[in-house]
Amino acid sequence: MNKDNETYLKLFWGGSNHHKRCLLSKNAKVTTVTTAVIVLFCLVATFCDFAALNTYIIAGVSIENQNLSSISIDKHQEQEFPLECTKGTQTCPRNYPTKHNPTNHNNHICPSYFKWIHEDLKAWREKGITREMLEGARRTANFKVVIVEGRLYLEKYKKSIQTRDVFTLWGILQLLRLYPGKLPDLELMFDCEDRPVIHLDKFQGPNASPPPLFRYCSDQWSLDIVFPDWSFWGWAETNIKPWKEVLKDIKEGNKRTKWKDRVPYAYWKGNPKVAATRKNLMKCNVTSKNDWNTRLYVQDWDKESNQGYKKSSLGNQCTHRYKIYIEGWAWSVSEKYILACDSMTLYVRPKYHDFFIRGMEPLQHYWPIRDDSKCTSLKFAVEWGNNHVDKAQSIGEAASKFIQEDLDMNNVYSYMFHLLNEYAKLLKFKPTIPQGAIEFCSETMACGVNGTQRKFMEESMVKFPSDSNPCTIPPPYDPLTLQEFLERKENSTRQVEIWEDEYWLNKSNGQ
């Protein structure tokens, strides 16, 4: 961690008074991660697999012995395009393929949450997006991305929190490497702050021209377009590895503690200071007088940051049967790590959504928790789970399966591809390279940095184009089906609330 970062982290978590305003909003982002599992040996094991594969190639083992899938992997490993750092001024290499020529033409429909791409772009469906509308989004944007003929250019407006902007751009660059030449030209504005800002009620009526603005989360009253957050490529400041690695780690971790052997309470660890609802949650902790079936802990970020997040207690957090998800300043990055744990997620009614959560359903993937009566709600949820262990376990496992499969990096890239592709179709102007803009590529971003940032970039770098196309985007919801889907989710939540009320009524009647 460099000096700048150190000071920065102090500012974040140090709590000195004249930084209070920053603290409120900034703390939120940092502390939103409550968990993650880091298992080093897993990484090592993966590396060994990889090495073994190469040995086979070198040893010239005959192809007949290999399965088709491994042949196509081998073929690509021979034409990897690693980072090409040069001495002096770093330039963008010109040897990377500029066309996408997959040999595998199998295709499948993307997970259903991709349908929300159509919903998120609906506001512009009829009239399209003019340059004026795009410029309207500049007010809060951190940067503008321009893609022309497969190359990326950047107009930077203001610094983002930590390395959010850096890893978001890195992610888009990797998408360009995965599907070279496949994205149409486009220009887009990106805002790296937490909360949505394009409020629906300001853009009503036939002459409304809402600015299209990309960010990590939105809510039902806003038009902000949701995009995968930076942590999919790594969160350097908290030492959380790229998603692909974390997924492997959690999978390993899940094998270590069988569901029925896990601690039969609801676990949460994080920073309660970032939002009133979290402070409120702390009242539900176990005391000598009350047991709400919870075990709640405060994440000591000062201590963690001093230790460089080495321990971060990030490991061993899939040890409880139930894990609580609760929003911070906005949506929380911790969500996917919690949902991947095999534990039944107790999901406190949210205000915000990211790009994938809209595909998940209460009682199928998580257990809904009231936000206006958390303690009683949590107590009942745990009691229900411990009385229905098979059902609770299968809810936990359904969520893990969703996260492991529907949210693996292939699908994340496919989502980005379709979102940007559909978005680009709406542009009413010809995207042009801004005057004086420099080209961005993996080399210009990674070669100049050291430490964790560099490590995560190398780990998450796409080394060769995909051998297949992105999955096929499903058609939009017809309005009736969408309404039914939302109603079904509301119904399941209501069902749980009815059980809960009955449980407390029975209790007060002394049953």
Provide the binding-site residues for ligand NAG, judged by CB under 6 A.
Answer: 65-67, 282, 285-286, 296-298, 448, 450, 484, 487-488, 491, 499, 502-503, 506, 511
User: Got the DSSP string for 458-502?
Assistant: HHH---S--SBPPPBPPPPPPHHHHHHHHHHHHHHHHHHHHHHHH
Q: Smaller CB distance to ligand NAG: residue 81 or 503? A: 503
Least Å distance, CB 463 to ligand NAG, is 21
Query: d(Cα 488, Cα 364) in Å, to the nearest integer?
Result: 11
Least Å distance, CB 359 to ligand NAG, is 16
Q: Smaller CB distance to ligand NAG: residue 17 or 511? A: 511
Least Å distance, CB 387 to ligand NAG, is 9
| 309 contacts: CB under 8 Å, gap ≥ 6 | 238, 239
Q: Smaller CB distance to ligand NAG: residue 76 or 454? A: 454
Q: Give the C-alpha distances (Å, rounded to integers) separating 175 from 7, 184, 439, 450, 485.
A: 33, 13, 16, 23, 31
Query: d(Cα 268, Cα 271) in Å, to the nearest integer?
Result: 10
Q: Smaller CB distance to ligand NAG: residue 177 or 278? A: 278
Residue with tokens 């007949």: 64
Q: Which amino acid is at 55?
A: T
Q: Smaller CB distance to ligand NAG: residue 292 or 355? A: 292
Least Å distance, CB 265 to ligand NAG, is 10
Least Å distance, CB 476 to ligand NAG, is 19
Q: Smaller CB distance to ligand NAG: residue 67 or 95? A: 67
Q: Which amino acid is at 165?
A: D
Listed residue (77, 68, 12, 186) closest to 465, CA to CA: 77
Q: Smaller CB distance to ligand NAG: residue 67 or 204? A: 67
Q: Smaller CB distance to ligand NAG: residue 205 or 510? A: 510
Least Å distance, CB 484 to ligand NAG, is 5
At 275 the three-state DSSP class reads coil
Q: Smaller CB distance to ligand NAG: residue 101 or 288? A: 288
> Dihedral of the CA atoms 221, 222, 223, 224 (nearest 10)?
-150
| 107 contacts: CB under 8 Å, gap ≥ 6 | 468, 469, 471, 472
Query: d(Cα 204, Cα 143) in Å, to the nearest integer?
Result: 26
Q: Smaller CB distance to ligand NAG: residue 22 or 85? A: 85
Listed residue (233, 177, 165, 164) closest to 456, CA to CA: 233
Q: Smaller CB distance to ligand NAG: residue 65 or 435? A: 65
Least Å distance, CB 449 to ligand NAG, is 6
Q: Give the C-alpha distances (Å, rounded to integers) separating 130 from 9, 136, 222.
A: 40, 10, 20
At 99 the three-state DSSP class reads coil
Least Å distance, CB 144 to ligand NAG, is 26
Least Å distance, CB 331 to ligand NAG, is 22
User: Got the DSSP string for 212-269?
Assistant: P-EES-B-TTB-PEE---GGGG-BGGGTBPPHHHHHHHHHHHHHHS-GGGSEEEEEEE
Q: Smaller CB distance to ligand NAG: residue 101 or 387? A: 387
Q: Helices in 282-435 by DSSP H: which ranges? A: 301-306, 334-339, 374-387, 389-401, 409-425
Query: d(Cα 157, Cα 172) in Å, to the nearest integer?
Result: 18
Least Å distance, CB 67 to ligand NAG, is 4
Are 190 and 141 in contact, with CB atoms under 8 Å apart?
yes
Q: Smaller CB distance to ligand NAG: residue 154 or 296? A: 296
Least Å distance, CB 132 to ligand NAG, is 40
Q: Which amino acid is at 96?
A: Y
Query: d(Cα 279, Cα 271) in Å, to the nearest integer?
Result: 9
Least Å distance, CB 324 to ligand NAG, is 12
Least Å distance, CB 241 to ligand NAG, is 20
Are 348 and 286 in contact, with CB atoms under 8 Å apart?
no
Query: d(Cα 144, Cα 155) in Å, to the nearest integer?
Result: 5
Listed residue (203, 216, 228) closest to 124, CA to CA: 203
Helices 164-178 and 409-425, interaxial angle, to 10°?
90
